[in-house]
Amino acid sequence: MSVRKERFQVRFWGVRGSYPTSSLKTLKFGGHTSCVEVEAGTRRLIFDAGTGIIPLGKKLLKSRRSDLNLYIFLSHTHHDHLIGLYFFEPLQKSNTRLFVFGPNSSRNSLKSTLRTAMDSQFFPIGLQELDARKEIFSLMGGEVVRFKAGSLRPKVDKKSSLEALVKDELTILSYKSHAHPKNGVMLYKVIYRDRSVVYATDIEEKKGGYPEVIEFVRGADLLIHDAQYLNSEYFSRTDPRKGWGHSTVMSAVAVAKKAAVKRLVLFHHEPIHNDSTVRKMEKQAQRLFPNAVAASEGMEVDLMQP
Ligand SMILES: [Zn+2]
Ligand SMILES: [Zn+2]
């Protein structure tokens, strides 16, 4: 088959947490909020719709040769992970087919949350007015999203019905963590051709990591993990960030080591951190886990490389 079928590549479009930044001092790592593109075989998955999804949308329209089939997985619906959706141009095209997955809140389905977010009080174009064909799937956590060869629409199964993973079939596992205020966050593990990547943003690890999270992450080729704070900020005596729903570099490293992942990407950078602070955090991580890197806009990781 073609080379494309073998592709398993991760590309970072937005790496900043909480709100976008724009400054000469953050150019190296970038200012867009969360958005990570994963190409697996012929499928294109997008994790979160922060402002990073806006340039991704423009690129997709520019390079499209036929209909666009896109799969967006939302970690949760806090603004920094959703705000780019308003300006994601493929949504305005009738030959885009979009599947959106994400957690429901305690009160609402994902569909009703997205409808509210696009209510006319907040944005002039409603979700229903956008021309793309959309299907929205609310997840509870523990689901298996399977992509069968030749079928556009993935199948969502409860994990309990999961037999052995089908070899070479693209599969995404979901895990709901409550370690993010107030509705928690969904983590995802993408498995393809015996390789895997875990997307774990907006999670506040406890000391040493949560055993269930470590199990979910175990053995991943790549772990993308929240690492918003320095220890000095998290444990500050005057203005602590403990309880804000994000991890320190040290706790991201602890999870990476315990779960025996191959590579760690520090993600969801604190917006007030300039390039030299993020670089310092990267070095801190590398001292304990040499295969760690701070995410930057435009960075690519090829998971098919040995
Ligand atoms: Zn966030
Ligand atoms: Zn959040």
Distance from residue 78's CA to the centre of ligand 2 (Å): 5
Distance from residue 187's CA to the centre of ligand 1 (Å): 13
The strand pairing partners of 196, in sequence order, are: 191
Burial of 121 (0-12, 13-18, 19+ CB in 10 A): exposed
Q: pLDDT tens, 242-296? A: 999 999 999 999 999 999 999 999 999 999 999 999 999 999 999 999 999 999 9
Distance from residue 64's CA to the centre of ligand 1 (Å): 30
Q: Where is pLDDT greater, at 161 or 14?
A: 14
Q: What is the pLDDT of residue 71?
A: 98
Q: What is the pLDDT of residue 161?
A: 57
Residue whose entry in the numeric block shows the structure tokens 């991580």: 285
Computed over every residue of the chain, the mean pLDDT equals 94
| Residue ranges of domains in the chain, CATH in brackets | 3-302 (3.60.15.10)
Distance from residue 244's CA to the centre of ligand 2 (Å): 9
The Cα–Cα gap between 281 and 283 comes to 5
* Confidence class for position 230, pLDDT limits 50, 70, 90: very high
What pTM, to 2 d.p., does this model score?
0.96
Distance from residue 105's CA to the centre of ligand 2 (Å): 13
Ligand index nearest the alpha carbon of residue 226: 1
CA-nearest of 291, 246, 226 to 264 is: 291
Report the b/e string of 254-272 with b at 16+ CB within 10 A. bbbebbebebbbbbbbbbe
Distance from residue 4's CA to the centre of ligand 1 (Å): 32
Q: pLDDT tens, 66-124? A: 899 999 999 999 999 999 999 999 999 999 999 999 999 878 899 999 999 999 999 99
Distance from residue 93's CA to the centre of ligand 2 (Å): 29
CA 286 to chain centre: 22
- Torsion sign (Cα): 138, 142, 143, 147: positive
Q: What is the pLDDT of residue 3?
A: 46
Ligand index nearest the alpha carbon of residue 270: 1
